[in-house]
Structure 1
Amino acid sequence: FKQLTGFSPSDYLSRLRVHRAKELLISGSGTLREIALKVGYKDEFYLSRRFKQETGAAPSAYNRGTFQRVAVLLTPYASHLLLLGLEPAVIISDSSEYLNTSGLQSPQTMRFINADCSAEQVKSLLLDNNIELIIAANQHLDEYGLNAEQLRAVAPIVEISWMELGWKEHLRLIAQVIQRRDRAEQWLTEYQREEQLARSLVQQSRAAQEIITILVIKPEHLLVYGARNVGCVVYQSLGLQPPSRIKEDMEKLGDKFHSIPIMISELPQYAGDRILVIVFPDAKGSTAHSDVIFKSNYWSQLPAVQQGNVHLLSHDEWIPYNPVSIRLQLQRAVSLFTSN
């Protein structure tokens, strides 16, 4: 057992229980006695003794504001932490391309772990980096086969839901975990002022009278975007109008509505007066798969195409979904819709 985990069975179980207790303390889930019973201890006194053995402090003295060695699963949450002034020690991800640090100090010591590594490799690397806390969404843990029960022996895990919440809620929850809520609210207040100014400028443009479609071409899918990514800026921040079918889904699902896959024959049903197009390259970096769309009769017959109201946007600039990237997208959108 020790060869496989690095711990004796009793030490491993103790770590699991203490780390789960930390998770419950972070979330404010119950009294110390209730937490003790939830993690398998007979009372709060026994929990306190074990907790102090593991951490050097009693549960009542557990200070979340002192986290220094935090790991995140996938890069968007790394951008949230950097904005809050805490550089993640480790990012577990399949890519670093969406880690936006514009306007922030660039990461100095942050380490990347490929999400395709085995769960045992990830655990070993996290232990080597003395991780104190892991921030992840269950969706991403499941996607990469990194079960929360496996990683809990390394450090407590705080689950921040991905698709169920918007980027502002992500920021607020992460700030609450590391006790930097004031910093988050200050940033959001500044963003709200920029958002209001941007909306007033764009609402005076021709785009305010148009239906705007966000079309994303991937190697395997053709998608129309809704309330997330660039759609968050275009439809929510700037108040521009989506196609009617997208609007219906946004009203039902709010921030949860990411996109809808469509067939090429359905393009006329979703194409508005202006089309924003984002092409994702394939594994080799080619965008040749988009020719199937651009050379089709369905595409050439769209009024927006015939009138030249099509904008080809970079996926690196317009897809990332984190506070820093959204702020940059807002600035780019104002320029896009108000320029001649």
Structure 2
Amino acid sequence: MAQSEMIRQETTEFAWDRSFFRMREMQFIKEENGWQIEPQLTTSHVLMIVKDGQGHFMLNSHRYRLRPNTAYICSPDDTYGIEIEARSKMFLFKFDVFQRKGSRYECLSHHGECLFPLQGEIPVFPADRLILLCDEIYDHWRSEDELERFRCQLAFQQLLYYIMKHRSPLPKESRTSLEAAKNYMERYFYENLTIEQLARISNVSPKYFVDLFKKTYGMSAMDYLTELRLNKAKRLMAQSDAKLRDIAHQVGYHDEFYFSRKFKKKVGVTPTAYMKSRRRKIAAYTSPITGQLLALKIIPYAAPLHPKWTAYYYKMYRDDISVPLSAYRKNQHWESKIETLSHEQLDVIISTDDLKTMEKERLEQIAPMFYVPWIEKNWREQLMLTAEFLGEEKEAESWLQMYERKVKFARQQLKQEVGEDTFLVVRISNQHLYAHCNRSISEVFYQDLQMNAAYPKRGTYNEPITLDQLAQIDMDRLLLLIRQEEETLAFWNQLQYSLPWQELKAVRHQQVYVLSSDPWMEYSAYAHDRMIDESLKLFSGICPK
């Protein structure tokens, strides 16, 4: 559900009269076909303002529907992402905050401080000068005159002043006309509610109600009603031994079979499988274990969740995984994970075996442990070992049979589309290029799908590579894994406009594809299933799900 409230960090520690702001960079985003920034960690403050169009702004665990006359701000070390719909125009600024400390100014973002008093969704009223200021800054920013570019910094100070001076709660119309209907839905979700009925409660026309609800909350009223019903059903499944038919009736579905289809479509597993998994408190200590459990139709009780590091699991299962664990940069926060698990009564903790000795010792004090061999076994063997431990061998065998059928279909479809074209995956990190092939890409993309590798080496590798070497390899199709942080993205923005890059055959023929780290960097059954889907979508236009 979209968050409509404004997050503030009003603090007396921030002194405006001892502060100044330096704009690092700005973008004017004008997209006809939609556009997105994947969730990424920021080292600067970020400000986004909508000129025209719609989309979403993701800040840590919050998701905001983009609105006109509104500013969106995040601070250093936050995770943010942006999804922009077709025919939209946005301004994106990155800036640093400096504050006087004694006789000198210090950059707050360089000292791990987050004192800037605004964060999240900031409605601005009146907003008549908001876009005018953004246009003025953009004009100065693009100027070849260095004095005009200096002037853009002054205009940016004015923009921040204007936002701070005219920040306001959301307009009353957006709240009061919908509050009664939304509250009614939350209280009487089990009734047979209609748009006409909800519009009458809001005292607006049905058409206006539909448009206003989606604009305000980022989803349709009926989708919100479905979310309310399914969330209540999940709680009933976890807390009682009630029959499925009774649960369906309690949440507003008189046809249990329709409820089951709706539940599986939204949650990803059947109600029966969900109830079974809820009765066992299984902790997935690492993300690949989450992927193995989901292939067995088991939603873990505890698992790593983060909008950037485990984006898919966060998006799809954050309401179902009762205990979220830190997913920060491949287990860097393992002590906080153990602290979280120590407060739970778990049946078992499942992990890959590549942990520190101290980490294992502390985990074994909390609950029984099952370690999955990480190096010695491939992902199919890891899935079967996990299934045998949990008594789910038939589920694993059924899933693997389904996977082989999907691979066979995908291989045929892709062969028709790409023929004998050769592929190379390049990973971009900081200001470096690497010819890259991890275990997932090797075993799924090159072995299962039988795509032709352009790089002479086989197996896994992550080797530095230059533009000259890329030109010599002469691959037909280029797949990119771009690290989502500011230095890498700035390097990528420069690289793609350089002449050596544009002369690459794959670039000239417009056969360059940007991959998401999720699922391409995860080694698990569930991630590999999604890799097949992604490959079909990228190269043949088929969307299996």
TM range (shorter): 0.5 to 0.7
2-structure distance, mates of 1:314, 1:124: 31
Whether 2:521 is the aligned partner of 1:310: answer: no
Whether 2:326 is the aligned partner of 1:326: answer: no
1-structure distance, mates of 2:295, 2:413: 27
1:226-258 CA-to-partner distances (Å, cap 9, x unmatched) read: 253345432122211102423xx22xxxxxx2x
Given the superposition, is the C-alpha separation of residues 335 and 228 from structure 1 closer, same or farther in structure 2, using an over 3 Å criterion? same
Equivalent residue, structure 1, for 2:322:
110
Deviation at 1:221, TM superposition (A): 4.7
Give the 5 Å matches for 1:55-134: 68-92=280-304, 97-98=309-310, 100=312, 108-114=320-326, 115-117=331-333, 119=335, 121-134=336-349
Deviation at 1:217, TM superposition (A): 1.3
2-structure distance, mates of 1:271, 1:171: 37
Q: Give the helix-richer structure, 1 or 2.
A: 1
Equivalent residue, structure 1, for 2:480:
277
One-letter amino acid matched to 1:136: S
One-letter amino acid matched to 1:175: A
Deviation at 1:123, TM superposition (A): 3.8
Out of 169, 177, 188, the position equivalent to 2:400 is 188
1:121-142 CA-to-partner distances (Å, cap 9, x unmatched) read: 5444323111232222232x23
2-structure distance, mates of 1:163, 1:137: 9
Given the superposition, is the C-alpha separation of residues 311 and 66 from structure 1 closer, same or farther in structure 2, using an over 3 Å criterion? closer
TM-score (norm 1): 0.65
Give 3-state SS (helix, strand or coil) of 1:203's partner.
Answer: helix
> Is this contact kept in 1: 2:427–2:482, CA < 8 A?
yes
Whether 2:469 is the aligned partner of 1:266: answer: yes
Deviation at 1:330, TM superposition (A): 1.1
Give 3-state SS (helix, strand or coil) of 1:155's partner.
Answer: coil
Deviating more after overlay: 90-99 vs 146-155: 90-99
Give 3-state SS (helix, strand or coil) of 2:370's partner.
Answer: strand
Out of 422, 447, 462, the position equivalent to 1:211 is 422
> Is this contact kept in 2: 1:67–1:133, CA < 8 A?
no
Whether 2:432 is the aligned partner of 1:241: answer: no
2-structure distance, mates of 1:125, 1:211: 46
Given the superposition, is the C-alpha separation of residues 299 and 105 from structure 1 closer, same or farther in structure 2, using an over 3 Å criterion? closer
CA RMSD of aligned residues (A): 3.4
TM-score (norm 2): 0.42
Deviation at 1:186, TM superposition (A): 0.2
Given the superposition, is the C-alpha separation of residues 335 and 78 from structure 1 closer, same or farther in structure 2, using an over 3 Å criterion? closer
Deviation at 1:170, TM superposition (A): 2.3
Give 3-state SS (helix, strand or coil) of 2:439's partner.
Answer: coil
2-structure distance, mates of 1:185, 1:310: 36
Equivalent residue, structure 2, for 1:137:
352
1:180-227 CA-to-partner distances (Å, cap 9, x unmatched) read: 11101101101101111111122223x231111111212365332325
Whether 2:374 is the aligned partner of 1:159: answer: no
1:258-292 CA-to-partner distances (Å, cap 9, x unmatched) read: x322132532344511111221211x597223235
Deviation at 1:74, TM superposition (A): 1.9
Deviation at 1:166, TM superposition (A): 3.1
One-letter amino acid matched to 1:215: V
Deviation at 1:333, TM superposition (A): 1.4
Give 3-state SS (helix, strand or coil) of 1:204's partner.
Answer: helix
Equivalent residue, structure 2, for 1:18:
none
Equivalent residue, structure 2, for 1:170:
382
Identical residues among aligned pairs (%): 22
1:74-116 CA-to-partner distances (Å, cap 9, x unmatched) read: 22211221332333222257777436469x8775243122244
Higher relative contact order (CA 8 A, sep 6+): 1
Q: Give the strand-richer structure, 1 or 2.
A: 2
One-letter amino acid matched to 1:302: L
Equivalent residue, structure 2, for 1:36:
none
Give 3-state SS (helix, strand or coil) of 1:209's partner.
Answer: coil
Deviation at 1:71, TM superposition (A): 1.9
Give the 5 Å matches for 1:293-304: 293-304=495-506
Deviating more after overlay: 106-115 vs 172-181: 106-115
For structure 1, the 5+ residue unaligned runs are 1-64, 251-256
One-letter amino acid matched to 2:280: Q
Kindly tell me the number of residue pairs found equivalent between the two proteins: 261
One-letter amino acid matched to 2:289: Y
